[in-house]
């Protein structure tokens, strides 16, 4: 594990108390600058020092290069909104945005996205104002257990911004990478249709 890993795993309580609380021991850079990745790296298994830009905040971490972006977010930065479902790119629960595009954080090595902006569910609302997609999911009751919901919402925001939410059929096709074992699909489609109109307005 990383040398400056958060040995005290953040609990749900500490996270609720303040997003930065659990990660206070990590130095936070003033700017999202990163060291230039070097071709000359250390031996296998050696930790790597890297900079991540998550929700417009910069983090400097020392990680095992095997660490996925999902595990870096959840275990090293303390942002547990992105969920680990299958951990093999099949369920979409770990969906985040990198460079504004939706990707699967479980198949992304953290070291490979240095300095590129990462957006997670925790950064979606502005102050106390929910993003229209979050509000629509609540309004339409578009979940039951909620485990897939952060991934659904991040994927849905990107789906609308890509221009792939023009009708229900298109929403279903372009959201097919996000599975919901509670099968809340009809309500998810309704929420996205509703939010898409508000986002375009």
Partner 1 sequence: MRPFDYRHSASRAEAIRLAASQSSAVQFLAGGTTLVDLMKLDVMQPAIVVDINGLADELSDIRLDGDELRLGALARMSDVADHPDVRREYPVIAQSLQLAASAQLRNMASLGGNVLQRTRCPYFRDVSWVACNKRNPGSGCSAIGGIARSLAILGTSEACIANYPGDFAVALAALDAKVELQGPAGRRVIAFSDLHRLPSDAPHVETTLLPGELIVGFNIPTASWTRRSLYLKIRDRKSYEFALVSAAVALDLDGDVVRDARIALGGLATKPWRSIAAEASLRGQRLTADLARAVAEVALTDARAEGDRAFKAELGRQTLVRALLQCGAMEI
**Smallest separation (angstroms) from partner 1 to the CB of 165:** 11
User: Which residue, 141 or 162, is less far from partner 1 as judged by CB?
Assistant: 162
Contact 73, 105 (CB under 8 A): yes
Contact 196, 165 (CB under 8 A): yes
Which residues are at the interface with partner 1 (CB under 8 A)?
37-46, 48, 64-66, 68, 87-89, 92, 95, 101-104, 107-109, 111-112, 155, 158-159, 162, 164, 172-178
CA–centroid distance for 173 within its chain: 21
Token pair 């021991």: residue? 25
**Smallest separation (angstroms) from partner 1 to the CB of 88:** 5
Helix, strand, or coil here: 61?
Answer: strand
**Smallest separation (angstroms) from partner 1 to the CB of 24:** 28
User: Which residue, 9 or 90, is less far from partner 1 as judged by CB?
Assistant: 90
Determine the longest span between alpha carbons in the chain, in angstroms.
53
**Smallest separation (angstroms) from partner 1 to the CB of 112:** 5
What residues contact residue 161 under an 8 Å CB cut-off, 6+ apart? 100, 199
Contact 25, 4 (CB under 8 A): yes
């Amino acid at each position: 594990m990383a040398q400056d890993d958060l040995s005290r795993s953040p609990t749900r309580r500490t996270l609720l108390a303040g997003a930065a609380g659990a990660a206070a021991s990590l130095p936070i850079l003033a700017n999202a600058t990163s060291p230039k990745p070097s071709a000359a790296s250390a031996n296998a298994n050696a930790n790597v020092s890297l900079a991540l830009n998550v929700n417009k905040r910069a983090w400097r971490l020392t990680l095992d290069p095997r660490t996925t972006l999902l595990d870096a977010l959840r275990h090293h930065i303390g942002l547990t909104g992105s969920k680990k479902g299958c951990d093999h790119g099949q369920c979409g629960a770990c969906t985040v945005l990198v460079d504004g595009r939706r990707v699967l954080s479980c198949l992304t090595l953290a070291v490979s996205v240095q300095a590129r902006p990462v957006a997670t569910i925790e950064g979606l609302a502005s102050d106390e104002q929910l993003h229209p997609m979050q509000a629509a999911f609540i309004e339409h009751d578009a979940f039951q257990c909620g485990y897939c919901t952060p991934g659904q919402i991040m994927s849905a925001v990107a789906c609308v911004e890509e221009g792939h939410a023009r009708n229900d059929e298109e929403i279903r096709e372009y959201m097919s990478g996000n599975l919901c074992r509670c099968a809340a699909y009809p309500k998810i489609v309704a929420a996205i249709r509703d939010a898409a109109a508000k986002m375009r307005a």
